[in-house]
A = this chain, B = another copy of it.
C-alpha cells in the first residue's frame, strides 16, 4: 500500500479501491494454484479483471505485490490473554502456525524474504508490514508476564535486547518447522516447544 499523502492528493479520477482488493485476492489465488515462480503479473491481472498496466501503476513488481498480498494474512494475528505466560505463548504460536499452514503464505513468504536479501527497500517493506507486527506481540506478551510476576523484572534496555532474541527464536522455530522440516506445528508440538522455551534444555522432566 503506497499511502498517498492528502497533501499530494490532486484532483482527477481516484484509484479504484475494489480493484486493489481484487488484485490482492487474485494474487493469493495465483500463489495457491501456481506458486511463486510460475506466478506472472499478466495472469494476476486477468484473474482480477483489470489490465496489466494497472498493476504496474500501483506496484513496482512481483515482489512488492506479493508482500502486500501476504501481509493481509497476518491481520488477524492477536495476542490472547489466557492467564499464564505459557498459555499466552501457546495461543499466539498456534495462530501464527495456522497462518503459515495456508499454501498462499508458504508459497509467498519465503520467496519474498529470499528476494529481500538483495533488495533493501523490499526488506524494509516486509519489516514494516509483516515482521514488526509480529514482534509487537512478543513485546506485549513479555510485558504482561512481568506484570504478573512470571518473569524476573529487567531494565527496559536489557528487555529490548532480549525481545529481539525471543522473537527470532519463536518466529524462526515455527517457520523452520513448517517450511523446512515440513511438518505441522500442531498442539502437541507447540506444547513441547513452549515448555522448552520456558524451562530450557537442562530442566529435568
Residues of A within 8 A of B (CB): 35-37, 85, 106-107, 110-111, 113-115, 117-118, 123, 131, 150-152, 154, 161-162, 164-169, 171-177, 179-183, 189, 192-193, 196-205
Contact = CB atoms under 8 A, between A and B. Distances in A.
A102 B162 CA distance: 26
Given A152-B204, A203-B200, A179 B37 contact: no
A183 to B, nearest CB: 8
Secondary structure dominating the interface of A: helix
Given A168-B180, A169-B172, A172-B180, 18 more contacts: A36-B114, A107-B118, A110-B114, A113-B114, A114-B179, A150-B202, A161-B192, A164-B181, A165-B193, A165-B196, A166-B196, A168-B173, A168-B176, A168-B177, A172-B176, A196-B200, A197-B201, A200-B200
A187 B10 CA distance: 53
Nearest to A199: B200
A98 B60 CA distance: 33
